[in-house]
Amino acid sequence: MAKTIILKPGTENAINERVDRILRDLDYPEPPLRLDQVRELLRLDLRHYSSEDVSWLQDRIHQVRVAGKQVLARPSLMLDVVRKLNLKALIIPDQKRILLDADLPIPKQRWSEAHEITHDLLPWHDGVALGRQIKDT
């Protein structure tokens, strides 16, 4: 059974402030919220990859390596993590990029995109997105 998590008031207020700022900046749109507008506001890029054909993802790993950047300890870790954990979506915070598996059904792509946007919206989620421990806010 899932455990109910009660947020500390400070965390709840911080989340509410961030969400309200986005909705205000978008002029309080009617539902459903258009994620492309949220991504544009947060300056997040969205790319699709195929879990069946990882050539695009391998190209991105090569670009990271050539640029001299690292994804965690080594650039190929991104591909390893995607394969081993069967990830269908992830965010690369330093590149402001969301990666979605193009093989996901469209409704699941929307859910996954919203989930990854949340990681960007809540800065204390950086550790979760990168597999590190995070501090309670």
For 14-30, how does the pLDDT look when each residue is reduced to its tens digit (9 = 90+)?
999 999 999 999 999 99
- Do residues 47 and 90 lie in contact, with contact meaning Cβ atoms separated by under 8 Å? no
Alpha carbons 113 and 72: distance in angstroms, whole number: 22
Cβ-proximal residues to 31 (8 Å cutoff; 6+ apart), any chain: none
- Do residues 78 and 130 lie in contact, with contact meaning Cβ atoms separated by under 8 Å? no
pLDDT of residue 133: 34
pLDDT of residue 57: 63
pLDDT category, 75, cuts 50, 70, 90? low
Within a domain: 105: yes
In tens, the pLDDT along 89-104 reads: 888 887 888 988 888 9
Average pLDDT over residues 104-120: 92
Into how many domains does the chain fold?
1
Within a domain: 137: no
Within a domain: 25: yes
Domain span at residue 74 reads 10-129
The model's pTM is: 0.69
